[in-house]
Amino acid sequence: MILATDATTPVQDKGVNTMNRRNGLTIGIATVWLAISGAVAISGQDKYSVKVPGGLAFSEFKGYEAWQTISISRNEKVMAVIVGNPAMIEAYQAGIPGNGKPVPDGAKMAKIHWTPKPNAFFPDASVPGNLLNVDFMVKDSKRFADSGGWGWAVFDYNAASDSFTPGTTAGTPPQGNDAKCGFACHTKAKARDYVFTDYGKR
């Protein structure tokens, strides 16, 4: 809108000018946000689309991030939390695997590994640092009859691409990448239905 103070000198309406600046700022912010969102969408991977040879898929463990904690584990290089789905927690609460009974089909566990870092407030304590990988195991006695009734999967995490890939013998620790990758290691716990971890008293 143009106002005239006299017949020859047009003056810009300040209210309109301010509104245009605000609209321009809003459009600019929205454009930047959309660009960032698009970049994240392009760079991020749908982790639930990944699977290991033999068919065990990340998607079979959807929701593991909220599963109940079974126990923790650590050494000089890595720290981990072991979690279980409701069927696995119920099995532990019934005394399995310590009572010699088999874990029921449908029970699942996940082990999430990080590099440890000092707690910012208590340097003698360690907290999770960078995510390294996520290990899974599921009890399905028919599907995995030739590997103790369990299927395993290891997915290594790459922070630069925010993506997961099946673990390999080049990983830390070295691991096979098919659905039977954990069988040889877990035979040490055959008497406990191939389950190493005890359910922490709470």
- End-to-end CA separation in angstroms for the chain: 72
Whole-number average pLDDT of the chain: 80
**56 and 81 together in one domain:** yes
Average the pLDDT over each of 9-18, 95-104, 113-122, 133-142 and give the range with the smallest value: 9-18
> Residue 165: inside a domain, yes or no?
yes
Strands 126-139 and 150-158, by their bridges, are antiparallel
Residue 202 lies in a domain: no
CATH number of the domain to which 123 belongs: 3.50.70
- Per residue in 12-58, pLDDT (tens digit) is 555 545 555 555 544 444 333 434 444 333 445 689 889 887 768 99
Residue 114 lies in a domain: yes
Residue 38 sits in the same domain as residue 56? no
Range of the domain at 37: 2-42
State both tokens at 14: 């300040």
**Same domain flag for 14 and 88:** no
- How many C-beta atoms lie closer than 10 Å to residue 61's C-beta? 23
Tens of pLDDT along 154-179?
Answer: 999 999 999 999 887 666 555 555 55
Residue 71 located in a structural domain:
yes
The span from the CA of 116 to the CA of 98, in Å, is 30
For residues 67 and 146, membership in a common domain is answered with yes
Does residue 115 share a domain with residue 37?
no
Whether residue 80 sits in one domain with residue 15: no
Q: How many helices (H) and strands (E) does the chain have?
A: 3, 8
Do residues 172 and 185 touch, judged by C-beta distance below 8 A? no
Q: Does 93 score more than 90 pLDDT?
A: yes
What are 58-70's pLDDT values in tens digits?
999 999 999 999 9
Residues 176, 186 contacting (CB under 8 angstroms): no
Beta strand pairing call for 150-158 and 2-4: unpaired
pLDDT for 17? 53
Distance of alpha carbon 13 from alpha carbon 18, whole angstroms? 9
* Same structural domain, 86 and 107: yes
Asked whether residue 86 falls in the same domain as residue 11, the answer is no
134 and 113 in contact (C-beta within 8 Å)?
A: yes
State which amino acid sits at residue 2: I
Nearest to 166 by CA among 199, 134, 140, 127: 134
84 with 13, same domain? Answer: no
Q: How many domains does the chain have?
A: 2
Rg (CA), the chain: 27
Backbone angles phi, psi at 117, to 5 degrees: -140, 155
In this predicted model, which residue has the larger pLDDT, 89 or 176? Answer: 89
